[in-house]
Amino acid sequence: MMDAYLGKRSLGFLTARLAGVVLLLPSTSVLVAQARLPDTKPLLENGDLAVLMVDGIHRFLDHETEVVRTQRQRFWDVQKGRRADLVAASRERFRKLIGAVDHRLPVKALELVATTASSAQITARPGYKVFRARWPVFEGVHGEGLLLEPSRRATVRIVAIPDADQSPEMVAGLAPGLDRAAQFARRLAEAGCEVVVLALIDRRDTWSGIPGVRMTNQPHREFIYRMAFDAGRHIIGYEVQKILAVVDWFKYRESQTEQGIVGTFGYGEGGLLALYAAALDGRIDRTVVSGYFRSRDGLWKEPIYRDVWRLLKEHGDAELVFLIEPNRLIVEASAGPRVSGPPPETQTRKGATPNGRLQTPELSAVKREVELARSDRVTLVVSGDGSGPPGSQAALEALVGDTAHRLPFPLVSSPLPATPEVDQTFVATRSKRQFDELVNFTQKLLRQSTKRREEFWSKVDTSTPERWRETSNRYRDTIWSEVIGRLPAPNQLANARSRLIFDAPKFFGYEVVLDVWPDVFTSGILLLPKDLKAGERRPVVVCQHGLEGRPRDVADPSLDDPLYQRYAVRLAEEGFVTFAPQNPYIGKDRFRLIQRKAHPLKLSLFSFILGQHQRLLEWLAALPFVDPARIGFYGLSYGGKTAMRLPPLLDQYALSICSGDFADWVWNITNADTGYSYLPTEEYEVVEFNLANIANYAELGMLMAPRPFMVERGHHDGGAPDEWVAHEFAKVRNFYVTRMKLPGHATIEFFNGGHTINGKEAFEFLRRHLHWPRALATQPGSQ
């Protein structure tokens, strides 16, 4: 069956296309070198092609951000006078993107937090009392903070959300650190509002990491973001849900008495949350967003815990107004939080995403974004010159001024009564409890993700390879479009350029560059055996380097990197045509920033790699000495990641070999328990939104079927333990054997080595399935 599958894909290109560039001499069947490959132009670029590639992708993304901004604005312009169902659909998409998808528990009362050593009531002030409070959100997750309860019945109820580096006690005037004018929770309570102040996960790194294994300087918000992203959740969504749980309580109480006004006031990180909560829930009548509102085109410069998949395709700050209408939004231009980056690195704490700065939005930028909303339901107020403290008189009056509540004036001059000392131990314990609850909740979701994947794949037909191929196509489309992010097919002419760089005893080596999209190209090294015969078409092995690698690492005959074992060279010496692409995971933070720019556009690094390999496969298939039905893929490390993401989606690859990467990938990158975790490392780019609920490596391996799939695994590879690898691969082997009836098409080699190419059983796998029986390879060091 598989032989037939492979054997009917030849395109029948003419060997005559070689004439004049690379010559086959019929009398000797020896390939004679020329300066470039057939049908290619001279390659004249002298710069570092890897650097140029990464820079080009950055330019593409910068331009695409501008295009998407225009498209987003046009989309919402069309929706003016829109139907309610269109808004509801957009709101539901937004809910999923920020991970606010878990069912909330009902809240009929807040819990007042007291112990035998301390009362729930912190203090009593003229007109209101202050209590420590908490409320249920999900199973095992609570919102916590303060309840400022007025002495008389309130008809205005406010959720106050401070910045992440501010405690509820600070904005309530119970702890030092804020100018009295910025204590907006206190001021609202003095105006007679009922106020619940939410404690946020802060930006410190005290508990980030895996105790006893590896700690990190990731802010607490980033640490939760990283594990939650793959679960289709987000620190943003979790905290929005905490806000909405308070709204649930407000509305429950209204159902028992008379209705009133429900509002939110958020500053800095709290401003983001207030804006997003108002966009999701029409029960919030009024919202103040202070020190946050502006264009999000530069989202990639902000802290990574603000990274939201697909955000800019539909939901910039201005566009969220359409989801808030007809409710009111008050945008306060004020001094925003100043964040210079994550906590500093130390010898024992590293791995935070670098940069991630926050500063006061320029008043002109705030005004532009408000103008883009084009809504009479938005009010812009300015604190001072735009850099004053949050909670200006104008902002608070816009929030509650036309209700029965009259704001005292001036609010900043009345003396405060004596404040009891805030129990800092309680505040620290509360912060730790909030952090632990979200970590534990997310880890539970990840452990349960196996069931979610089973549900997702339950409707696919595995009765025959043909039915599997037919019914699994929509799953491929989902992975490509919704997890990786799909770009249009390459739209530039290939404009192939090449130059001869190696003349080895058994092969020639050519450096090749192919255009893909504007500013985006692919490049690599083609090794062409010298014993090609006229009219002969050979199998090709695409040999993919790992992180920070280059094509020469695998394809330069003068190099013998112990990781790669000269495997492209050795395969070419056997008679395979090999191609070693340059993939763009090179340049450390420079390439990782591609993810930061790409995610809000519903794209990722692999969106570009897929397009590059689409172009590469087209070009290879058109070469007269290549059999397009026999192109295999073999990658190590990050090249192994590529082996798990490209061949399953690109049918032109006849087989795939994953070396040094296969594992229980979802757990590998998200677990907070073991030393085998990417979570505390610098590789922040490996997160993929909602992957855990869609496909782990077993499902990606199955998508290769009926094409052959192999894993190469060194016992001493530190990426994951053998047990994780074997357990995940067992699912793939079971599928090939019991469902596809192809027992020889899925195999794994365990060898006594580390994170390296082994090139033994894998080479035999290539010979067998690419139908190249001439085993002329030499082992490393035995030439």
Phi, psi at residue 386, to the nearest 5°?
A: 105, -5
- For 561-629, the DSSP string reads -TTTTTHHHHHHHHT-EEEEEE-S--STHHHHHHHHHHGGGT--HHHHHHHHHHHHHHHHHHSTTEEEE
pLDDT for the residue 407: 56
pLDDT for the residue 11: 31
pLDDT for the residue 31: 67
Predicted TM-score (pTM) of this structure: 0.94
Report the C-alpha gap between 712 and 727 in whole angstroms. 14
Question: At what angle are helices 638-645 and 605-622 packed, to 10 degrees?
Answer: 70
- pLDDT < 70 stretches in the chain: 1-31, 81-82, 403-421, 774-783
pLDDT for the residue 38: 86
Residue 80 has what DSSP assignment? T
**Side-chain half-sphere exposure of 340, counting CA atoms within 13 A:** 2
Q: Hey, which residues does 521 pair with through a beta bridge?
A: 515
Other CB atoms within a 10 A radius of the CB of residue 466 amount to 12
Other CB atoms within a 10 A radius of the CB of residue 424 amount to 11
pLDDT for 370-421, tens place per residue? 999 999 999 999 999 999 999 999 999 999 987 655 555 344 445 555 565 6
Report the C-alpha gap between 232 and 692 in whole angstroms. 8
User: Among 326, 302, 299, which residue's Cα sits nearest to residue 313?
Assistant: 299
Give the torsion sign (CA, 97, 99, 102, 106): negative
**Side-chain half-sphere exposure of 145, counting CA atoms within 13 A:** 29
pLDDT for the residue 75: 86
pLDDT for the residue 259: 83
Q: SS3 letters for 307-370?
A: CCCCHHHHCCHHHHHHHHCCCEEEEEECCCCCECCCCCCCCCECCCCCCCCECCCCHHHHHHHH
Q: Hey, which residues does 385 pair with through a beta bridge?
A: none
pLDDT for 622-652, tens place per residue? 999 999 999 999 999 999 999 999 999 999 9
pLDDT for the residue 306: 98
Under 8 Å between Cβ of 692 and 233? no
Other CB atoms within a 10 A radius of the CB of residue 107 amount to 21
Report the C-alpha gap between 744 and 526 in whole angstroms. 30
